A and B are shown apart, each in its own frame.
Chain A
Amino acid sequence: MAKAEKIEIYANLCKGCEICVELCPVDALEMKDFKAAVKDLDKCIACMQCELRCPDFAIEVYKK
């Protein structure tokens, strides 16, 4: 299973829509202070769906 080296979330771009958090298949993300945040990087399978579906260029996944 692919893994992520890091997940970058840009708080200045994140509009807090929760798409990435709700649609992550492994629950690796969470909301904190109305912005997306990484909950557990080890869980991430680098499926890229959060990055692809973020409407605001606010989350980037760097594959291992």
Chain B
Amino acid sequence: MAYDYSKYLRAGKIPHIWCPGCGYGIIMKSMIRAIDGLGWDKNEVVMTSGIGCASRLPGYIDANTLHTTHGRSLAFATGVKVANPKLKVIAMGGDGDMTAIGGNHFIHACRRNIDITCFVFNNYIYGMTGGQYSPTTPKGSRATTAPYGNSDNQFDIAQLAMGAGATFVARTTTYHAVPMEKLMKQALEHKGFSVVEIIAGCPTGYGRKNKLASPAGMIEWQKDHSVAIAQWEKMSDEEKAGKFPIGVLHEVNKPEYVEAYDANVGLS
């Protein structure tokens, strides 16, 4: 039997708006299988997003969904979680949404260690608005706003999350559809703030400008540039150049924000 995604999809919403070969469809499928695999009741699942191609995802899912304003996915998610801590809150957005306009919300959600799962879809670009460079665009890569190549240094989202205090941090790619599903499950089950950075291809906004126009080529690129964390730790700086580690990069237990808050004000 082929996997039946339809019970988690809003009727009549597919085909989705994403371009041919956009990595986000692969992410959506892994996310559905992860939630389904945990046996969660979709009535208890809340998905929030900001603005951008990534942020269109919750609109396709038959759960409680909030499509908010640019960068504010985590602000809304925090409000939902504090108001009703029993809900399973999943916040998502693109690299621009989470680390440019929403960067402040991102670091402070990490710092608080609130029990939210945050999926950041990193396609190295502002896809929706036509391919402007974002804080994760690699140095030297081209964008509509960087016709000579990007001069800026690149944010490492996973490292940013760790530095800011997230208690579970992982990275994966759309090449790794099944490992992605497993990492998502781990992140969803983690108590505290968990971040999964997902490297995804944007053939339209990023690929065409950077000689990576084929969607399959972008997926192959992810395979060739990602290294399992166990292997990564044995590599020299030279071997690491231009590559990135994937898998669970950080996992610790710390008091969760809502519980700590309630205890502090005498509510528990």
Contact = CB atoms under 8 A, between A and B. Distances in A.
B174 A53 contact: yes
Contacts, number: 65
A23 interface: yes
Contact of B216 (A15, A23, A62): A23
B15 A56 contact: yes
Contacts of B74: none
A16 B2 contact: no
Interface stretch (B18-26, B182-190, B191-199, B253-261): B18-26
Interface string B161-182: 0000000000000110110000
B14 interface: yes
A51 B20 contact: no
B3 interface: yes
A30 interface: no
B263 interface: no
How many residues of A sit at the interface, in one of the four size bands? 20 to 34
A21 B1 CA distance: 21
A22 B216 contact: yes
A17 interface: yes
A61 interface: yes
Nearest to B223: A23
Contact of B5 (A12, A57, A62): A57
Nearest to B33: A52
Nearest to B24: A55
A26 interface: no
10 contacts: A8-B2, A15-B15, A23-B219, A52-B26, A53-B174, A55-B18, A55-B215, A56-B15, A56-B16, A57-B25
Interface of A: 8, 12-13, 15-19, 21-23, 49, 51-57, 60-62
